Amino acid sequence: MKVLSQVQITPSSVILNGKSISASSINGIYREFIGDYPKFFKMDSLCKLGFVAAELLLKNIPIEEKENAAIILFNRNGSLVTDRNYQKTISKEDYFPSPALFVYTLANIVTGEIAIRHKIYGESSFYVLPNPEESTMNEVVRNTFLTSSPSFILTGWVDYDNDEDYLADIKLVTK
């Protein structure tokens, strides 16, 4: 597989294709490099993280080249942060279920947000793994190239635990 571009985002750094770029937070990355998608602020933290990481890799690629791409992401925590936040809205003492939180109680929503933004119609999937196991992740990606022939695949690890502990480590790859 050939890596076309890659980005790594942590609470302390943003590294795009080997170069460190300035940005203070996930919202800071959005404001500095994106800024034209108000729906961003309605997303949960996992989606925001995946969205800004994907944006840095995909924003300069023409729409027609993205149409047949695939998105395959992995993480450990699933959508646990939002699951917990939603759970607080359905306690017996204070039962007001939040629809806006409920829609993000699935980890694979982040792949949908990216696909909608970039008009990507190829395969999208999200796997929850105990750890970022390269061999497992590469196998899934290789199988996707064999079965659906995407133009390229946006793939990698997008995991959010809290404001001090998150990691997006994703790349664009071709066969």
Partner 1 sequence: MEDLVLQLKNQIIEVLNLEDMTADDIDASAPLFGEGLGLDSIDALELIVLLEREYGIKLSNPTEGKQIFKSIDSIADYVSKNRKK
Q: Which residue has the tokens 């929850």?
A: 128
CB of 31 to partner 1, least distance (A): 9
State which residue, 40 or 74, has the beta carbon closest to partner 1: 40
Q: Which of residues 14-33 bind partner 1 (CB under 8 A)?
A: 27
Residue 130: partners with Cβ closer than 8 Å, 6 or more residues away:
76
Stretch that binds partner 1, among 67-75, 96-104, 115-123, 124-132 (CB under 8 A): 96-104
Beta bridge partners of 125: 72
- Read off the amino acid at residue 99: P
- Read off the amino acid at residue 103: V
Stretch that binds partner 1, among 8-16, 97-105, 131-139, 167-175 (CB under 8 A): 97-105
Among 18, 38, 62, 130, binds partner 1 (CB under 8 A): 38
Work out whether the CA dihedral 18, 150, 157, 22 comes out positive or negative. Answer: positive
State which residue, 8 or 82, has the beta carbon closest to partner 1: 82
Question: Helix, strand or coil for residue 21?
Answer: coil
Binding site for partner 1 (CB under 8 A): 27, 38, 41-42, 96-100, 103
